Structure 1
């Protein structure tokens, strides 16, 4: 057994325990293995161990890595979890199975145009700047409804909400707020929780957790 598959087993075990404590079905939580900056050779052991959903931050990096991997692993999914420039919308729609960083009207329009052109619809999560941090992406909480309405008007499937809480503070209040916002707006899915806090996120309703370091180890 490789280090990667050992780490996958540990993460899956912690996911199951967190779901049980929250009286949830562990199968309702999807693990996104964050493979940004990781080579195909680093990703392959997790694929061999059965992991099928991966997350990338940049369109260009994903485009150099995943087309070849998907020839070998035809059922692998790749989600974009990083910020997306509007001029990369068409490439993103062509490459990814979901986008977790829809955060502005201009991107709504670019993605809608790209989906129409490629005749490919992919689910999107609206990223909310849950901690109101100027250095982070995501729409302001007060702008969420208008962005959601714009996306729906453009025919974009909004699956749910995504957030990255402020660092160095307990994430639970921010996860709880995102869950409330999703409920208030009729959205079922929550993309929240990373290596350091995914168990807390699961207890507060996460349907998608984005885990990198806990699966691949620390970056150099």
Structure 2
């Protein structure tokens, strides 16, 4: 696969979507390297990107250790569901956790971050479509949860994250993204202390252009960059 062509295509699509978006936002591309050999990280660097997204802690650690001499150039995001007992392994290594979705996890993140004198940046994961197969809070639960999280001094809430449903209905996907974008704006206007809702993480390979048009400034793209994953292999 010609990774340069793939990256160029995705970057062009991002630019076109930004031009359509009324938000005129800068967009961070998170390159999702899940189920790809650690060497794929080099393709990210070769194409002028720096942000790596991983779903599983074990696989993240494999890639982190393989490229730990490049940490000055790489930014790591933990984008998948996070078990509380795994927080200790990543708290000093990741730059942003996308999947904060329960108070027990917030408590553990705060505890581990305090131990290393860090304020851990996190996004609240929201299950806008209320699908049983997805993690995350419902829209109506987010503000109460957010206020609880603000009680933890070693957590920095920096925005919201969601995943769209698996459907070909592009209008429905747009509606899901718009609802989360509206919630972000609503929360921002409330002026909570110690809160900076600067990130809206929405959109993956099938729908990242729609997400950008609706205000996303982080998109998580894997398959369009690296091709199909080989689920028969595990890199941890």
Q: TM-score, normalised by structure 1?
A: 0.94
Task: Assess if the C-alpha contact under 8 Å between 1:70 and 1:76 holds in 2.
Answer: no
Partner of 1:63: 61
| Aligned-pair CA distance for 1:188 | 3.2
* Ranges in structure 1 where 5+ consecutive residues have no aligned partner: none
2:220 pairs with one of 204, 210, 217:
210
Q: Structure 1 or 2: larger helix share?
A: 1
Q: Which runs of 5+ in 2 are unaligned?
A: 189-196, 231-236
Instruction: Give the alignment's Cα RMSD to 1 decimal.
Output: 1.5
Corresponding residue of 2:104: 106
2:181 is aligned with 1:179 = yes
Rounded Cα–Cα distance in structure 1 between residues aligned with 2:184 and 2:17: 21
Q: Matches of 2:86 and 2:105 in 1, distance apart?
A: 10
Q: Which moved more, 1:69-78 or 1:5-14?
A: 69-78
Equivalent residue for 2:233? Answer: none
Cα distance in 2, alignment partners of residues 174 and 68 from structure 1: 37
TM-score scaled by structure 2? 0.88
Q: Determine the C-alpha separation between the residues in 1 that align with 2:198 and 2:93.
A: 24
Q: Deviations over 1:43-92 (max 9, x none)?
A: 21221221100100011111111133131352201100000001111222
Matched, 1:194 2:190: no
The ranges of structure 1 where at least 4 consecutive aligned residues each deviate by more than 3 angstroms after the TM superposition are 23-26
Shift of 1:122: 2.5
Confirm or deny that 1:74 pairs with 2:72. yes
